Structure 1
Amino acid sequence: MQIGIFAKTFARSRLEDTLDAIKAHGLSCVQFNMSCAGLSPMPDQIDPGVAEHIRHAMATRGMTMAAISGTFNMIDPDRRSRQEGLRRLGVLASVCPRLDTSVITLCTGTRDPENMWRYHPDNNSPQAWEDLIASMDEALRIAEQNDVMLAFEPEVANVVDSPAKGRRLLDEMQSPRLKVVIDGANLFHAGELPRMHEVLEEAFRLLGEDIVIAHAKDLSHDGEAGREAAGTGVLDYDDYLRLLRASGFDGPLILHSLSESQVPQCVAFLRRKLEHQESAGLC
């Protein structure tokens, strides 16, 4: 596994300065966000020259873009907002070849009209699922046209709030272009922390073969997605990384939900855990 980081962890006015800050921590793999290039995360349009500039800046530093964030609310209660999100997804997908990346990360969304990461009781309605399927169908059409993969993340506040629903989505869409971002800190509904091992095992049993990116952060309590830096909460990282390895995953392990000042300790934490697995013959 290769340790990487959300590029937007580092707040700099110039893309080059952001990338240099990442490299200074011994990291060369990022999940990119267009805000790092001075644009909105989901731009209305992207000049091809900007995309070429990003690729050149990364290539000259020996860096890779594991994925680019393309999150919008796929079940927004406002249909026009969903349509605009899909249009902008198309804009982003069209420049992925120039960015030298082939994975766009998604948010399956919520009925909350203001925050796509906030739980809403209507997420469990049949209509919410129908809207997700409709949005995902169009998103996959865009992915096919632009030769990219889409990766969604099961998250307790979203319509896909469990590994079981993630499996259901994969089975219903039946597309080789639909994959999974796994985040062990996002899977625990209220009261489930005492069952941590069982919840993690179920996630990898149902989704393991479809994981293309793993996130590394932490949680202090269940009932909502974790927002703590890796190694500062209660997630059993030995179990999480063991299950990642056992699933056959050997891709990018992306740090996020951390401040810039926490980067050294979090990178060191992950390296220790990975080295321990290797020395113990767990990889």
Structure 2
Amino acid sequence: MNQPVPLGAFARIFHVQTAVQLAEAFRAHGLTQVQLNLSTFGFPTLPTEIEVSSPTLEGIRDDLVAAGLTLWGVSATFNTAHPDLSRRMDQTALAANFIARLGCTGAHAATLCSGSRDPGNMWGFHPDTTSESAWRDFRTSLDVLLPAAERSGVLLAIEPEPANTVADVDRALRLLRELGEDAHRIGFILDPANLITNVAPSDHKYTLERAFGELGDRAICVHAKDVVAWSSTLAGQGVVDYELVGRLHRDLASGVPLIIQDATPEELADVVKLLRTSIERSVA
């Protein structure tokens, strides 16, 4: 019998100040999985121990667990391929220290950005992001983060994104090959909207089937958003085939969550309904 898909959302969807308020908002929508950026609570994404202490992190965990929620992932995003070496090294060191402290949160993953040569936007397109030098800088950053993840027991979650160094399935597979024994500390987020960006509609099905087939055994999360805004999707003008995503999700390991991104609080109830309906139809 198929188990229910664990459904969650980005914490930043909600305008809250505390973990208790966040938990109430999640429970109101029947969501159980939290992807958290500490900026939700007004902290830096990569805080020092002075800015966010371990007791504070433990308190966030306790408030979420008390409400029956799972803190699936915590953002440790920064530009791992930033063109400025000094900035990149400083951010890498800050991220490593933060990731090493995440064991107390009970989080499954620390989410990363594989980086861009765009100095102002880690997810921005830049023609040099596909260069071997950008790849080497990303790998150098990642090599510093791997021991931190080992210490805290979290996985480093990487999402293939078209404007980043790990742009697609092929580059994700390259990363696994290069990491060798260290690959066990990496997990992939599969985002159907990102995967089909710049792909002809006739190739959407093949692209998603290949991504889930090639990376599925290393997938630890699936993101739910669309190539268009949720307002368009809810109006019947969506691009991502979530019935197909539901079928592909069934072949992933048990417990891999589906986490909603980019919805507004006002849209969220309808997005949850759409996803649950699509998943039900995919089983029929």
Q: TM-score, normalised by structure 1?
A: 0.91
- Are the aligned partners of 1:217 and 1:229 in contact in 2 as well (CA < 8 Å)? no
For residues 41-65 of structure 1, the C-alpha deviation after alignment (integer angstroms, 9 at most, x for no partner) is 1113321121121012112211110
Matched, 1:265 2:270: yes
Structure 1 unaligned runs (5+)? 221-226
Q: Is 1:136 equivalent to 2:142 in the alignment? A: yes
Deviates more, 1:102-111 or 1:231-240: 231-240
Q: Counterpart of 1:236?
A: 241
Distance 2:248 2:96 in 1: 34
SS of residue paired to 1:17:
helix
Unaligned runs of at least 5 residues, structure 2: none
Shift of 1:186: 0.3
Structure 1 pair 93–191 and aligned structure 2 pair: CA distance change class (3 A): closer
Q: Residues 127 and 115 (structure 1 numbering): CA distance in 2 closer, same or farther, change over 3 Å?
A: same
- 205, 208, 217: which one pairs with 2:216? 208
Tell me, yes or no, if structure 1 residue 276 matches structure 2 residue 284.
Answer: no
Paired amino acid for 1:73:
N
> For structure 1, which segment, 130-139 or 191-200, has the greater mean C-alpha deviation from structure 2 after superposition?
191-200
Q: Quick one: which of 102, 114, 120 aligns to 1:114?
A: 120
- 2:177 is aligned, of 171, 182, 192, to 171
Q: Given the superposition, is the C-alpha separation of residues 249 and 207 from structure 1 closer, same or farther in structure 2, using an over 3 Å criterion? A: farther
Among 192, 197, 208, the alignment partner of 2:205 is 197
RMSD: 1.7
| Alpha-carbon spacing, 1:191–1:254, altered in 2? closer, same or farther (3 Å) | closer
Which residue of structure 1 aligns with residue 163 of structure 2?
Answer: 157
Trace 1:1-283 onto structure 2 (pairs within 5 A): 1-45=5-49, 46-174=52-180, 175-220=183-228, 228=230, 231-232=233-234, 233-248=238-253, 250-278=255-283, 280=284
Taking every aligned residue pair, what percent have the same amino acid on both sides?
Answer: 34
Q: Does the 8 A contact of 2:114 with 2:158 survive in 1?
A: yes
Task: Provide closer, same or farther for how the CA distance between residues 255 and 191 of structure 1 changes in structure 2, counting only shifts above 3 A.
Answer: closer
Matched residues in 1 for 2:15 and 2:43: separation? 14
Alignment-mate amino acid for residue 68 of structure 1: V
The runs of at least 4 aligned residues of structure 1 exceeding 6 Å deviation read none
Alpha-carbon separation, structure 1, partners of 2:17 and 2:197? 38
Change in 2 beyond 3 A, CA 1:268/1:115: same
Secondary structure of 2:73's counterpart equals strand
Q: Aligned partners of 1:79, 1:273: CA distance in 2, in Å?
A: 45
The 2-side partners of 1:192 and 1:110 are apart by 24
2:29 and 2:169 map into 1 onto residues whose CA distance is 33
Q: Which amino acid aligns with 1:160?
A: V
> Which amino acid counterpart does residue 267 of structure 1 have in structure 2?
V
Secondary structure at 2:72's aligned position in 1? Answer: strand
54 and 213 in structure 1: CA distance in 2 versus 1, 3 angstrom threshold? same
